[in-house]
With several copies, the nearest count.
Chain A
Amino acid sequence: MTASNEYAKVGEFKPLDLLAVAGAREVNDGDVVFAGTGLPMLAIGLAQNENAPTARCVYEGGSIDGRPIDTPTSVGDARCIYQASRAGGLYEAFYGQLHSGYVDLGFLGGAEIDKYGNLNTTYVGTPLNPIMRFTGSGGNADILSFAKRTVLIMVQEKRRFTEELEYVTSPGWRVKKWPSGKYVPKQAVYGKFFKGGPSACITDMAIFRFDENGEMYLDTVHPGFSVEDVKNNVGFDLNVTRCSGETKPPTYRQLEILYNVVDPEGIFLP
C-alpha cells in the first residue's frame, strides 16, 4: 500500500466514501459483525484491511468469516463462502450466532429513524393503510434487538429523522411494550435478554450517538456541513450540545483500499 495516512481534502472524496470510512471506524478489532449487503460490506471490508484485521463477518445467508475474492452483491451470494470458516444457513446465523449472543456489532440501514434509534424499513403508511411497502424487516429487527452495538446508516432528510415513526420495524433504545404499545426503555422489554442497542447513526451529513437515556445527539458534522444544516434536516428537536467537531475525512490509504481492494469492480462505489 503506497498511499499515506494523511486525510484527503474536501473534493477528493465522495459522500459514500466518507460513509464507508466512518462505518469502518466503528468496528473494533475482533468484533463479530452481522451485516447486510451494500455499504456495510464496504465498511467492514475496509476495517478488516485497516483497523480491525480480525473482525469477522456473519452474513444472514449463513456464511461466517468469508474472505471473498470478488465482492458479493447479496448476503446469499456464492461469493460469500470463499474461504469462510463455516457455511450454514439462517438458523445458524439468527439463532446459533445472534440469539446465542456472539454478535458484537450490527450494521443496518432504514428508511426512517426516530430519536431513540427505532427504525422503519417496512411501510409508508401503516399495515392498515399501506401507501407503499419497502422490503420489510428481514434481519433488521433481529439484529438491532440482539447485537451488542449497532451502527445505523441513513440518508439525512427531515422526513426520515422523525419525531414518531408510523411503523416501528426494529427496536432502538425505547421500544413498544405490548399489548398497550406504550414506549418503555428497551431493558424493560428485553429483561435478561438485553445486550445493547444502537451505538451510532451515520448519515451523509453527520455522525450521531445515543446518550444515557437512549436519545440521539449530534457527535460530529461531516466536512462541508454546519450544525445548522444538520438541525434543518432532522424532524425532531436534536441535542447538539455534545457536538465534538468535524468528522475526520478518509485518508488516502483508506480511499485506496476502498477502490482497489474492497470494491475494485465498482459495484457499490461508482
Chain B
Amino acid sequence: MGTPKIITLQEATSMIKDGDCLAFSGFTIWRRPVAMCYEILRQGKKNLHLFEVQGGFHSEVLVGGGAVKLWEGSWMGQEILGKTGVNLSRKQANGEVIVDDLSHGHAVGRLSAGAIGLPFFPTALAMGTDILNPAYDGIANAGLRDGSNPKIPKEKYTTVKDPFYDMGELLLMPAINPNWGLVYAPMVGTEGTVRILAQCYNDQDVIKACDKVIVICEEIVPDEYLRREPTQNLANGYEIDYIVVCPWAAHPTGSQFYYDTDADFLLSFNKSTKTQDGFDKFAEEYIYGVKDHDEYLEKLGVRRLEKLRASQATGYSSRVKRGTR
C-alpha cells in the first residue's frame, strides 16, 4: 500500500474503462464528484455500471449523456429540487438502461459488506416487497447473472433462517466491490488523509469497497493539521489511490463549509432534461461546450459562485434565497 498520487482530472478520468462499475461519494445533492462525471462524458465513456445507494445530479448527467448501461440503486432524484430522476426514468422506459431496484438498507448493507471484505450482508429490512420479486430482477432478466462479470453476483439475494435464536428468515444481500470509487471530499492531507466536514453518508464504505479510489478535493492541506483530530477523519492515505485538486468540483451539488447546493441550477436541469433533446442542449452548454472545469466555472461566473459560498460559521450559505418568503 502506498501514498496516493496527485493527477489531473483528465488523467484520472482516462483510467476509467468502458463497462467499469462505479460508485460515488455523497448523498442526493451533496458532495458529488460532478466535475469528473462531466469529464467522463467529454471522454465518451460507455456502458458504465453504476452502483448507487442513491443517485443524484451527477448520475442523472451520466445517464442522460448515454454513458450508463446498468444502474443499481435505491433512489434517483434531487430532493425537493426535482422529485424524480427524469433522465433515468426516460432511459429505463426506453429500454436504454437496465435498472435493478434496491432499498436504501439493502444498498447500504451491500456496500458495507464490500467495505469489510465479506461476500454478503444479512438484513431483515424491506422484506415482503417487489424489490425482492424474482420476476423483477432486472439484472437477471438481462442475462447478466451468469458469473462472467465479477462485479455482478450470481443471485440478487438469498434467504437464510437464523440458526441461533429462532428469529426467523432474513436476507443475505451480496457485497459489491465496484472498480472505481469517485469520491468528492473537501480536504485531503499531504499524506492522503481525507476529511469531510459533516455527515459521512456512505463515503467511508465507498472508499473501502472500491478496487481503486480517486478523491477529488477543493484543496490539499497539511496532514499534520488533519491529524490533530484523528476522530474527525474519514480515511487514511493508503486507502486512496489518486488525488485530483479541483475547486468547486461538486457544483451544483453542495459541499458543507465550502458551498451550498445550487438550487436554481438543479431545478432548471430537472425541468429542461425531461426530454433527450433537452438534455442534449444542457450538455452542449455546460459539458461539451466548455473545454474544462475552469471554463465551466467562468461560465457560471463569480456572482453565482459567491452567492453559494458557505458561511464558515454554519457551513452553508446565508446569501441564497430558498423559500417564498
Q: Do A and B interact directly, with beta carbons closer than 8 Å?
A: yes
How many pairs of residues, A versus B, come closer than 8 Å at their CB atoms?
311
Distance to closest chain A CB from B296 (angstroms): 23
Q: Are A98 and B322 in contact (CB under 8 A)?
A: no
Instruction: From A6-14, A68-76, A209-217, A232-240, give the one contacting chain B.
Output: A68-76
Q: Is A95 an interface residue when CB atoms closer than 8 A count as contact?
A: yes
Chain B interface SS verdict (over half): loop
Contacts of A267 in B (CB 8 A): 80, 322-324
Q: Are A89 and B130 in contact (CB under 8 A)?
A: no
Cα distance A71–B325 in the bound complex, in angstroms: 13
Q: Is A94 an interface residue when CB atoms closer than 8 A count as contact?
A: yes
Distance to closest chain B CB from A204 (angstroms): 17
B214-232 CB contact bits vs A (8 Å, 1 = yes)? 0000000001101110110
Cα distance A95–B202 in the bound complex, in angstroms: 12
* Interface size bracket, A side: 35 or more
Q: Is B300 an interface residue when CB atoms closer than 8 A count as contact?
A: no
Q: Are B238 and A102 in contact (CB under 8 A)?
A: yes
Q: State the interface size on chain B (CB cutoff 8 A).
A: 99
Q: Are A88 and B129 in contact (CB under 8 A)?
A: no
Q: Are A76 and B125 in contact (CB under 8 A)?
A: no
Q: Are B104 and A139 in contact (CB under 8 A)?
A: yes
Instruction: From B40-48, B162-170, B243-251, B282-290, give the one contacting chain A.
Output: B162-170
In residues 51-82 of chain B, which contact A (Cβ within 8 Å)? 53-54, 73-77, 79-81
Contacts of B236 in A (CB 8 A): 56, 64-65, 85-86
Q: Are A85 and B128 in contact (CB under 8 A)?
A: no
Q: Are B124 and A266 in contact (CB under 8 A)?
A: no
Q: Are A87 and B133 in contact (CB under 8 A)?
A: no
Given contacts A135-B76, A191-B167, whether A141 and B322 have CB atoms under 8 Å apart is: no
Cα distance A208–B158 in the bound complex, in angstroms: 36
Contacts of B77 in A (CB 8 A): 135
Contacts of A84 in B (CB 8 A): 227, 230
Q: Is B148 an interface residue when CB atoms closer than 8 A count as contact?
A: no
Contacts of B314 in A (CB 8 A): 69-70, 78-79, 82
Q: Are B104 and A90 in contact (CB under 8 A)?
A: yes
Q: Is B83 an interface residue when CB atoms closer than 8 A count as contact?
A: yes
Q: Are B85 and A178 in contact (CB under 8 A)?
A: no
- Can you name 6 A-B residue pairings with CB atoms under 8 Å? A37-B79, A54-B3, A56-B238, A62-B201, A95-B109, A179-B134
Interface residues of A (CB under 8 A from B): 30-32, 37-38, 54, 56, 60-67, 69-71, 73-91, 94-96, 98-102, 104, 118, 122, 126-128, 130-142, 145-146, 167-171, 175-179, 181, 186, 189-193, 263-268, 270
